Amino acid sequence: MDLVIRNTRLIDGTGADPTNRVSVEVTNGTISWIGEETARPQRKAHQEDINGEGLTLIPGMIDCHEHFTGDGGLESMDRLLDDTQEIFTLKAVGNARRALLSGVTSARDVGARYGINILIAKGTASGAIMGPRIIAAGEWLQYPGTWPAGLTRRTETPEELLLAIRDQIDNGAGLIKVGATGFRANGEQFGSLGPEALNVAVRAAHEAGLKIAAHCHGFEGTQQAVEAGIDSIEHGTYTDEETIRLMAQKGTYMIPTMSTWDTRERLGNQYGMPAHQMADTLDRKENSIASFKRALREGVKIAAGTDAGGCPARHGFIARELELMIDAGMSLKAALESATREAANLLGILDEVGTIEVGKQADMVLIDGDPHSDPAALRNVWAVFQGGSRVT
């Protein structure tokens, strides 16, 4: 697809300051020219021409933590346990479309029953399904204690875990996802996998050329995961100073997923929630923000992820996740980059997307407003382009 977006405000995601009155030209789905409109080469025939005055062009956003088979809502966990494979698939198709229309042009799906996310990833890659470019983990992998048994592939030894990882790879997984922490019945946190299994998992993923993500609530399992070489800590609540410093030293990413507690709190206030559940939600909120602030102070790499579909959060609301990180102390510029350049770097696709630069795929979003002065502007999506093709 050939197109030009003229006279727009450009936030290219590279760290450079926004630039006004910029034109961006796309040829065969690739960004081919960026500069002042007066210097642009002569227009081509059959080129879509978009007047970007008053709009801001940003890189396509990336949600690093989604579960497309889930719809979200207060009953999200019940549905994840009870829905059939066919219903999961239908929901995933609809949710992938919702994410794309919100400006999410790439995403990680970090766990689905039956490995349906791999099927959806293949569908979006081929164009058969409308959705982001998806890197899918296949099934969640765990030892007992992290998630309900019916939700995941449960293993109990390093040998079984290694076999499960190899199965995901053989099925076409683009990353591996494990559960590194759990909660006992009395609420006590513990490291559910332990150092030996984590080392086995990291080695298996990296030898296959894949990244590996770990679900982490609690300092013990989180520290074990970081020490083992996990690429990203998902959620990262109850993470202590020592572990945060270790993450900064090793370049481990944190995916805060603040939408998990934010959506649960909002829906609980709106529809009612038992007092003990609300108390747990507020405790998660407090500890999530505290861990995030520690990560900011120590310079930990942060990438945006909503946990949409794996909790009450719904797909298509990455803007809210960025607002929550900003409220917790992140700059507007860094928050947007957490969903563009930093996210692309974590996913291993920065050479293709994540910034608006000549030679990269034209994954771009036109926003009505300026997200560097008002993050709520990210909700005002005017147009989405994926590989140069306009999808909305």
CA–CA separation, 94 vs 347, rounded Å?
A: 23
DSSP 308: B
Confidence grade of residue 292 (pLDDT, cut at 50, 70, 90):
very high
Q: Rounded mean pLDDT of 373-390?
A: 96
DSSP 13: S
CA–CA separation, 73 vs 91, rounded Å?
A: 13
46-50, 212-216, 239-243: lowest mean pLDDT where? Answer: 46-50
H helix intervals, the chain = 76-82, 85-101, 116-126, 158-171, 194-207, 219-228, 241-250, 259-271, 275-298, 318-327, 332-338, 341-347
Q: Rounded mean pLDDT of 254-259?
A: 98
Confidence grade of residue 16 (pLDDT, cut at 50, 70, 90):
very high
Residue 387, pLDDT above cutoff 80: yes
Residue 197, pLDDT above cutoff 80: yes
Residue 137, pLDDT above cutoff 90: yes
Q: Rounded mean pLDDT of 179-198?
A: 89
Residue 82, pLDDT above cutoff 90: no
Beta carbons within 8 Å of 15's beta carbon, 6+ residues apart? 337, 341
Helix, strand, coil abundance in the chain, percent, nearest 5: 40, 25, 35
Phi, psi of 359 (to 5 degrees): 100, -15
Which residues are paired to 142 by β-bridges? 154
Per-residue buried b or exposed e for 312-329, using 16+ beta carbons within 10 Å of the residue's own CB: bbbbbbbbbbbbbbbebe
Confidence grade of residue 38 (pLDDT, cut at 50, 70, 90):
confident
Q: Rounded mean pLDDT of 246-274?
A: 96
294-310 pLDDT tens trace = 999 999 999 999 999 99
Mean pLDDT score of the chain: 95
Strand-pair category, 381-386 with 389-390: antiparallel
Q: What percent of the chain lies above the pLDDT cut of 90?
A: 90
Q: Rounded mean pLDDT of 255-260?
A: 98
Domains of the chain, CATH where assigned: 3-59+355-390 (2.30.40.10), 61-347 (3.20.20.140)
Q: At 256, is the secondary structure helix, strand, or coil?
A: coil
Q: Rounded mean pLDDT of 107-129?
A: 97
Residue 32, pLDDT above cutoff 80: yes
Q: What per-residue confidence (pLDDT) applies to 148?
A: 86
Query: Between vectors from CA 260 to CA 255 and to CA 266, what angle results, nearest 5°?
Result: 145
Which residues are paired to 325 by β-bridges? none
